[in-house]
Copies of this chain bind each other. A is one copy, B any other.
């Protein structure tokens, strides 16, 4: 009853893997221009069309960004368009104001059973926990609790978070060389506990949208686990089903 391993890997996929290695190794950094298709074709000794197909897939996975006439760039969370790739919360009245992140706390702890499982580390390993709120045009709408593996995020402090202008992930990218590739979210409806209710200025028991997210970097390695509680009176979570 053994299942055969895939016995055939097309050339363009091998090239793609080589390019992922180059990205992972930091040879090409976020925001930078990578070599032209012609150069890559020469480097890997394949035709331009083959490199092209590899880049096509990497662009579809949001690892690279093509710009006609200019070249191909490594995707970066500094790009303002990247912000809403993971944040699906939208104001009900087309108000496009960017949310403002307000870090509240940042402390060290030992990983419990659940955090360890979600982050792929051992129970008892050092983790860093961040609490922050997200405000839309001044009003607190989201309370986030973010669990990070201590090994990767050594040196992260509340000050660092508070001083940073930009998204969390753009900070992670520049300070820790971490690229967030994809994420998985599990949504449920829950009742607001006392503390959360106070922060969001609602009554205890208020229905909130609970969003648990595990975020992965290269090689499907989990590097962030967070739980957000969203107040959905004036906002909703928008999801496109294709």
Which residues does A use to contact B, with CB under 8 Å?
61-62, 85-86, 88, 182-191, 205, 207-210, 213, 230, 232, 236-242
Q: Is the CB of B61 within 8 A of A187?
A: no
Q: A31 to chain B: closest CB distance in Å?
A: 20
Chain B residues, CB < 8 A from A190? 189, 207, 232
Q: A203 to chain B: closest CB distance in Å?
A: 11
Q: Which of A62, A88, A207, A241 has the most CB of B within 10 A?
A: A241
Please, which residue of chain B has its CB at the minimum distance from the CB of A188?
B232
Report the copy number of this chain in the oligomer: 2
Q: Which of B62, B186, B209 contacts A187 (CB 8 A)?
A: B209
Chain B residues, CB < 8 A from A210? 189
**Interface residues of A: mostly helix, strand, loop or mixed?**
strand
Chain B residues, CB < 8 A from A191? 207
Q: Is the CB of B189 within 8 A of A239?
A: no
Chain B residues, CB < 8 A from A241? 85-86, 88, 182-185, 213
21 A-B pairs (CB sep. < 8 Å):
A62-B242, A85-B241, A86-B241, A88-B241, A182-B240, A182-B242, A183-B241, A184-B239, A185-B240, A186-B236, A186-B237, A187-B209, A187-B236, A188-B209, A189-B207, A190-B232, A207-B207, A207-B208, A209-B209, A213-B241, A239-B239
Please, which residue of chain B has its CB at the minimum distance from the CB of A87?
B241
In the bound complex, what is the Cα–Cα distance between A174 and B183 (angstroms)?
Answer: 36
Chain B residues, CB < 8 A from A238? 184-187
Q: A54 to chain B: closest CB distance in Å?
A: 15
Q: A235 to chain B: closest CB distance in Å?
A: 8
Q: A10 to chain B: closest CB distance in Å?
A: 12
Q: Which of B86, B183, B188, B242 contacts A237 (CB 8 A)?
A: B188
